[in-house]
Structure 1
Amino acid sequence: MQTVSFRQMKDGTKEDYEFLGRLEQDFIDKLPDRILDALRALDDTLSGYQVTRLEHSLQSATRAEADGADEEMVLGALLHDLGDDLAPENHSQYAATIIRPYVRPEVTWVVEHHGLFQKVYYAHHFGEDPYARDIYKDHPYYESCIRFCERWDQASFDPDYPTQPLEHFEPLVRRIFSREPFDPAVVNRTDVVLPRAVQT
């Protein structure tokens, strides 16, 4: 196997870094495959619910799609719990970091904060403030995160809901994660895109 010549980065040559650049691009090009594999792995994770974490993720995305959400928000619904295995205490931030280079800020913000917003449904059982989310009540994406949690996330633990399989969402995953990362036309958007079904 070909390797670089250096043992310290500061000793690398132009040829070394060009070689690594080619390998890195090949690796980046396979990101959609790794995302799909990570989703499949959610089928064997946190137990106790009536659905697996993968089924919950698929159901959230199915509900978002049925509700008229655009494809970036559907992706957010699909991947919002992707960090549960490796980042159980900050899974929201983990998932948001993964999608940040490829979607508009609204989607990243909603995914990043959904864990806090979900507490409205159960925090009182632990003596915590269920409305801790209200520190963000003046944020432009506050209502979007409430909708995300109410309509798609908290509702998606139903084993009888007609949920789309992962194969249904695979083209969307491949399309979005094949975008140019940090494209200003995407990541600098500051508009809020409401699902068609709830636009006023």
Structure 2
Amino acid sequence: MNHVAFTQMKDGTAEEYRFLERLEDQFNAELVERLLKALRHLAHGLSGYRVSRLEHSLQSAARAEADGGDDDLVIAALLHDLGDELAPYNHSQLAASIIRPYVKAEVTWIIHHHGLFQQVYYAHHFGEDPNQRERYRDHPWYQKCVDFCERYDQASFDPDYPTPPLEHFEPALRRVFARQPFDPEVIGAEPAGGFDSPV
């Protein structure tokens, strides 16, 4: 079989879906290569900062690593802005969706909200409320997101920071994405009301 016969999913046979599943497994095995390619592409994206978006991502991951962060946190820092090009108004949620099957729910929550939490640094310049993150003040992971933004994200636009190349993070990236997706032993408990719930 080279392709399925159906033109509507509801008409597919068990054999066709097993065939497609094998192809999907082969395709999904190349996920890390696609992530690396997408990260490299960040070198040519949004301009105006003193570092490229790739350098910012590498620097964020380097700071998390230097701070003793585990693979989950370091790789989340590496990928946190991966959505900038395709989802500029909700890039945080796109990045969180990419890592969600592979990392602790706490780390997914941090990445999901980092864009909103970052507004504390600049929203007032646009006449907007810089304290929108306060709606999450009672969330158990609130402070960890504050710390992520302060220590790894907003501080990582320094062209003089000793930043390792992307290859330095590749082993950790492969370890994280080699995990069984949605393994409850890794992810733990997700927020009861979902990732947008204040508590």
TM-score when normalising by structure 1 = 0.92
Describe the SS at the equivalent of 2:58.
helix
Describe the SS at the equivalent of 2:158.
coil
Match of 1:43 in 2: 43
Match of 2:138 in 1: 138
Match of 1:195 in 2: none
Q: Residue by residue, what CA displacement relative to the aligned partner does 1:81-103 show, whole Å, maximum 9, x if unpaired? A: 00000000000001001100100
Match of 2:69 in 1: 69
Alpha-carbon deviation of 1:130?
1.1
Unaligned runs of 5+ in 2: 191-199
Q: Residue by residue, what CA displacement relative to the aligned partner does 1:16-52 show, whole Å, maximum 9, x if unpaired? A: 1111111010011111111111111111101000000
Unaligned runs of 5+ in 1: 191-200
Instruction: Please identify runs of 4+ aligned residues in structure 1 that moved more than 2 A.
Output: none
Q: How many residues align?
A: 190
Once residues 170 and 70 of structure 2 are traced to their aligned partners in structure 1, the CA distance between those partners, rounded to angstroms, is: 15
Once residues 12 and 112 of structure 2 are traced to their aligned partners in structure 1, the CA distance between those partners, rounded to angstroms, is: 37
Report the identity percentage.
67
Describe the SS at the equivalent of 1:27.
helix
Match of 2:78 in 1: 78
Alpha-carbon deviation of 1:189?
4.5
CA RMSD of aligned residues (A): 1.2
Q: Residue by residue, what CA displacement relative to the aligned partner does 1:149-199 show, whole Å, maximum 9, x if unpaired? A: 101100000011000110000111111111100001111257xxxxxxxxx
Describe the SS at the equivalent of 2:85.
coil
TM-score when normalising by structure 2 = 0.93
Does residue 60 (structure 1) correspond to residue 56 (structure 2)? The answer is no
Match of 2:166 in 1: 166
